[in-house]
Amino acid sequence: MANYTISETFTLPSKGLIYDNPINPEITLRSMTTMEEMERLSPTKTPYTKMSNVIEKCIVGKPEMHVYDMCIGDYQFLLHKLRIVTYGPEYNTINICPFCDNVEESVFNLEDLDINEYEEGIKDLLIVHLPQCNKDVKLKLQTPKLLDDIQRKRDSLLEKNPDRPDPSLLLTLESLIETVDGEILNSVQLEKFVQDLPMKDTNVILKTAELINKKVGIDTTITHVCPSCGKSYLSTFRITPEFFGPTIR
């Protein structure tokens, strides 16, 4: 049977340099088939596992690093490129002007999203000083695997004790911290450390992780000009059912 899939080669926005062991940033993706779509639609409690597997099955050749272990910026980049190589860049959107409430249906080109590429000095952001407790913390890169682990642990803890507060914040902090003052803490020490963190220090960790994620990958900020009132406004790109099932016009 003929092969009707399309393939295209892309360069990861991290350039493969953000990792402890640099990797080849050139990735060739082929378009999804019905089998990959079946896997994407299958029920799961760990969505990043499923989507990482789908992306990896569509990579031509064996990647030097599992998609599941890539930084969030590279993962999201491959997710967008997989959509483009499968369905094309046209993306049907609905925008509501915050000034006049005009509702506009339009077709956005996914290729127009800006890409933030790796620059020297990004790794330096992984070392943060916590002003309240006066400690230096080394952070980990957020990955699909770490995000799934948070969800998995959260579900397990709430299943055992449904009345406890949502542990997501603590689990997120634990997943982000690699060392404290150069020391690797065991699970008990780490849990105690994050529980006792002043919120000012917690905020430093969370905002730094957020900043690092934005430094590499797709810039999801979109500028719109309202056709009704003529004013410009910003919106954030969101994945809707149109992403993996575009309407035929």
Consecutive H or E run containing 109: strand 103-109
123-215, CATH topology level: rbstp2171 (3.30.2220)
188 by DSSP, 3-state: which?
helix
pLDDT band at 164 (very low <50, low <70, confident <90, very high): very high
Q: What is the pLDDT of residue 3?
A: 73
C-alpha 242/C-alpha 185 separation (Å) is 44
Dihedral (C-alpha) 171, 213, 222, 169: value to the nearest 10 degrees?
10
Map tokens 């690093």 to a residue.
65
Domain boundaries, the chain: 7-118+216-236, 123-215
The answer to whether residue 15 scores a pLDDT higher than 70 is yes
For residue 148, what are the contacts with CB-CB under 8 A and spacing of at least 6? Answer: 46, 47, 48, 49
- pLDDT for position 2: 55
Phi-psi region for residue 163, left (φ > 0), alpha (ψ -120 to 50) or beta? alpha
Give residue 235's pLDDT.
86
Task: Give the phi and the psi of residue 104 in degrees, each rounded to 5.
Answer: -125, 125
Residue 1 is predicted with a pLDDT of 46
CA distance 206 to 82: 29
Give the DSSP H/E element, type plus range, for residue 8: strand 7-11
- What pLDDT was estimated at residue 248? 83
Tell me the CA end-to-end span of the chain in Å, nearest whole number.
Answer: 29
**Average pLDDT of the residues in 166-194:** 97
Tokens of 21: 């062991």
User: What is d(CA 105, CA 92) in angstroms, rounded to the nearest whole number?
Assistant: 7
- Taking the C-alpha atoms of residue 188 and residue 24, their distance in angstroms, rounded to an integer, is 37
Give strand pairing partners of 217.
116
Q: Would you call 99 helix, strand, or coil by DSSP?
A: coil
In whole angstroms, give the CA distance from residue 118 to residue 140: 16
Helical H runs in the chain?
A: 34-41, 47-57, 72-87, 144-160, 168-176, 187-195, 199-215
104-162: pLDDT as tens digits: 888 889 999 999 999 999 999 999 999 999 999 999 999 999 999 999 999 999 999 99
Question: What percent of the chain shows pLDDT beyond 70?
Answer: 98
Contact 229, 100 (CB under 8 A): yes
- The pLDDT mean for the chain works out to 94
The answer to whether the beta carbons of residues 211 and 203 sit under 8 Å apart is no
Amino acid present at 80: H
pLDDT at 100: 94
